[in-house]
C-alpha cells in the first residue's frame, strides 16, 4: 500500500513539475516575443532618457505646443505601470488613456498602435511586466500652456483624428506585403514621423508617408514615388538602409532615423526588413511638386562651368573675381578645410563606405538645407554591428556667420541645379541647437526670419574653391 502511495505521489509531483516547466517555457517565449515587438515599436526611443534606465521615462519630446515628458513604463507599482491590468495596458497603448482615465498626448503614437494585434499586445504586456526591471523614479510633469494643458480636450481630438481601427490584412496581397503594412503603419508607426501633420498636430491621411517635420529635421518622403520618394531604390538598398542606416549613392541616416536604426530597425529579422521594403515599394506614390529629380541624383554636372571659370582666375582665395556672377571669395572654403577636409578631403567619400560621397547624397540634394544644417550642428553617430560611424558636432564651434557659410560649403553642384530651394535660416539653426541640448550662441536676427531663398539668380552669390569642389554661398 505504501509503495502504491509513493508511486501515485511521484506521478502527481512529476505531472505538476512538468506542467510548471511547460508554463515557464511558454511564459519565457511570450516575454521574448514581447521584447522583440517592443524593439520593433522602438518604445525605448521615447521612454528612455539619455543615460537613463531603460523605459524609466523622463525623455523630453519637443512639440509645437511645448515639451512633453515621456512616462515611466517599467513595472514599478508607484511610478510606472506595475498596477496596470492587461486591459489597462491595452487601453493606454491603443486609445491613449491611462489606468486613471487621464488622456495621453499624441506624442505617444496611439493612433498607430490602435492596429496592434491582440496576441502582440498580450506579449508586450508580458514583457513590460516580467521582462523589464522596475524603476521607482518619478518623471517630470508635462505642463503645456492653456488650452493644451486641458487633457480632457484630447477626447475631441481622438474623435476627430484617431480612428482606433484594428489592422486588417488585405487578402489580395502577399504575406510579406501585409506583414510590412502592419510593421509600417501600426507597430513601427512610421507615419508618426514621415507623414505631414495638420494644424491640430494630426497626421494628414491624404498624404501618408509623404514626408514631414520632426523638430528642426525634415523627414523624407518614403512613398513609392520615383522622384520624391524611394521608388528609385531597390529592395536590397532599402533593406540595407534599414539595417545599417547607410546606402552609398543614396542616403545616410541622421537624427531620429539614425536613432531608430541603432535602437530598433537593425535588430529586426531579415524577413521583417524585407516585408517593410515590400510594403514601401508598393505604397501609394506622392510627388512633391518642387522635386524635379531624386535628391540623390545630383552629381555635379552643373558645376563644371563655374569650376572651370574659377580655375581660370589667378587671384586666389579672398580676392575679387572678374568672372560674371562671382563675388569676393569667402571663408567657406577655409571653414570646410579646417573642419571637414580631414575626413572628406574632396567630398568623394571613401571606397569602404566609412565616409559617404557628398554627391549622390539625398541630404545635400534636398530642396531645403534644414537636415544639412542639423547634421553640421549636431553631428552624426550611428553604430550598427561592429561599425561605428561618428561625425563630430559643430554647434559649439561655429557662430552664426561661419555657420551660415559652412552650411553652403556643400554644394554648388546641388545649389545651382536646384534653384528653387529653401535655405535654412538662423532661427532654424537656433531651434536645432536648442533641441540638441547645446547652448545656442547665435546672434538672433529676427528680421531675417524663416524666409525663402527664392531663385538663386536673384540673390548675391559668392564662390569658393575646395579641393576638387566648387562651393556656393548665398548671402
Q: What is the pLDDT of residues 340-396, one digit of tens each?
A: 777 766 555 655 556 677 778 888 888 788 888 888 888 877 777 666 667 888 877
Instruction: Give me the number of domains the chain comprises.
Output: 2
- Do 261 and 377 share a structural domain? no
- Do 331 and 277 share a structural domain? no
Per-residue pLDDT of the chain (475 residues; tens, 9 = 90+): 556 655 555 555 555 544 444 457 668 999 999 999 999 999 999 999 988 999 999 888 888 888 899 999 999 999 999 999 999 999 999 999 999 999 999 889 999 999 999 999 999 999 999 999 999 999 989 888 898 888 888 888 888 888 878 899 999 999 999 999 999 999 999 999 999 999 888 899 999 999 998 888 899 999 999 999 999 999 999 999 999 998 888 888 888 898 999 899 999 999 999 999 999 999 999 999 988 889 888 775 554 444 444 444 444 444 445 544 444 344 556 677 677 777 766 555 655 556 677 778 888 888 788 888 888 888 877 777 666 667 888 877 776 554 444 444 444 433 433 332 333 333 333 333 334 333 222 222 222 223 222 222 222 222 333 322 323 332 2
- Do 201 and 68 share a structural domain? yes
- Do 387 and 277 share a structural domain? no
**8 is an annotated ligand-binding site residue:** no
**340 is an annotated ligand-binding site residue:** yes
- Do 324 and 254 share a structural domain? no
- Do 243 and 107 share a structural domain? yes
Asked whether residue 245 is domain-assigned, the answer is yes
- Do 206 and 340 share a structural domain? no
Q: Distance of CA 273 to CAs 21, 184, 228, 278, 284, Å?
A: 34, 10, 22, 9, 19
Asked whether residue 43 is domain-assigned, the answer is yes
- Do 324 and 246 share a structural domain? no
Q: What is the pLDDT of residues 296-334, one digit of tens each?
A: 887 755 544 444 444 444 444 444 455 444 443 445 566
- Do 242 and 131 share a structural domain? yes
- Do 177 and 236 share a structural domain? yes
CA 127 to chain centre: 25
Asked whether residue 14 is domain-assigned, the answer is no
Asked whether residue 30 is domain-assigned, the answer is no
- Do 236 and 306 share a structural domain? no
Point out the domain boundary residue: 281, 307, 324. Answer: 281
**343 is an annotated ligand-binding site residue:** yes
| Host domain of residue 332 | 295-438+450-474
Asked whether residue 148 is domain-assigned, the answer is yes
Asked whether residue 286 is domain-assigned, the answer is no
pTM: 0.76
Asked whether residue 21 is domain-assigned, the answer is no
Amino acid at each position: 500500500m505504501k509503495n502504491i502511495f509513493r508511486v501515485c505521489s511521484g506521478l502527481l509531483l512529476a505531472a505538476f513539475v512538468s506542467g510548471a516547466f511547460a508554463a515557464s517555457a511558454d511564459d519565457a517565449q511570450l516575454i521574448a516575443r514581447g521584447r522583440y515587438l517592443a524593439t520593433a515599436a522602438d518604445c525605448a526611443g521615447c521612454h528612455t532618457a539619455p543615460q537613463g534606465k531603460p523605459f524609466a521615462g523622463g525623455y523630453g519630446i519637443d512639440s509645437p505646443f511645448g515639451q512633453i515628458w515621456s512616462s515611466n513604463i517599467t513595472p514599478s507599482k508607484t511610478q510606472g505601470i506595475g498596477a496596470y491590468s492587461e486591459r489597462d495596458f491595452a487601453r493606454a497603448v491603443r486609445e491613449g488613456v491611462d489606468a486613471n482615465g487621464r488622456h495621453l498626448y499624441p506624442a505617444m503614437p496611439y493612433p498607430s498602435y490602435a492596429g496592434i494585434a491582440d496576441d502582440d499586445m498580450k506579449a508586450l504586456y508580458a514583457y513590460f511586466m516580467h521582462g523589464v526591471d522596475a524603476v521607482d523614479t518619478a518623471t517630470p510633469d508635462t505642463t503645456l500652456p492653456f488650452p493644451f494643458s486641458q487633457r480632457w480636450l484630447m477626447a475631441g481630438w481622438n474623435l476627430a483624428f484617431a480612428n482606433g481601427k484594428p489592422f486588417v490584412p488585405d487578402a489580395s496581397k502577399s504575406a510579406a506585403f501585409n506583414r510590412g503594412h502592419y510593421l509600417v503603419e501600426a507597430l513601427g508607426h512610421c507615419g508618426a514621423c514621415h507623414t505631414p501633420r495638420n494644424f491640430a498636430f494630426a497626421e494628414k491621411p491624404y498624404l501618408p508617408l509623404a514626408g514631414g517635420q520632426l523638430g528642426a529635421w525634415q523627414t523624407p518622403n518614403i512613398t513609392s514615388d520615383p522622384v520624391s520618394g524611394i521608388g528609385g531604390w531597390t529592395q536590397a538598398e532599402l533593406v540595407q538602409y534599414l539595417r545599417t542606416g547607410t546606402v552609398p549613392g543614396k542616403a545616410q541616416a541622421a537624427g531620429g532615423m539614425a536613432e531608430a536604426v541603432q535602437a530598433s530597425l537593425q535588430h529586426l529579422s531579415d524577413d521583417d526588413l524585407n516585408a517593410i521594403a515590400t510594403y514601401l515599394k508598393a505604397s501609394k506614390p506622392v510627388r512633391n511638386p518642387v522635386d524635379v529629380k531624386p535628391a540623390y541624383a545630383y552629381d555635379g554636372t552643373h558645376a563644371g562651368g563655374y569650376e572651370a571659370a574659377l580655375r581660370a582666375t589667378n587671384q586666389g582665395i579672398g580676392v575679387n573675381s572678374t568672372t560674371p556672377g562671382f563675388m569676393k571669395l569667402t571663408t567657406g572654403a577655409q571653414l570646410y578645410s579646417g573642419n571637414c577636409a580631414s575626413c572628406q578631403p574632396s567630398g568623394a567619400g571613401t571606397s569602404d563606405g566609412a565616409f559617404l560621397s557628398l554627391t549622390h547624397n539625398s541630404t545635400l540634394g534636398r530642396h531645403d538645407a534644414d537636415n544639412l544644417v542639423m547634421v553640421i550642428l549636431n553631428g552624426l553617430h550611428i553604430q550598427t554591428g561592429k561599425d561605428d560611424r561618428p561625425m563630430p558636432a559643430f554647434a559649439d564651434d561655429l557662430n552664426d556667420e561661419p555657420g551660415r557659410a559652412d552650411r553652403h560649403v556643400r554644394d554648388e553642384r546641388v545649389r545651382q541645379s536646384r534653384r528653387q530651394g529653401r535655405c535654412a535660416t538662423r532661427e532654424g539653426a537656433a531651434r536645432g541647437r536648442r533641441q540638441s541640448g547645446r547652448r545656442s550662441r547665435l546672434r538672433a536676427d529676427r528680421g531675417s526670419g524663416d524666409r525663402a531663398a527664392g531663385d538663386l539668380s536673384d540673390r548675391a552669390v559668392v564662390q569658393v574653391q575646395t579641393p576638387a569642389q566648387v562651393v556656393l554661398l548665398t548671402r
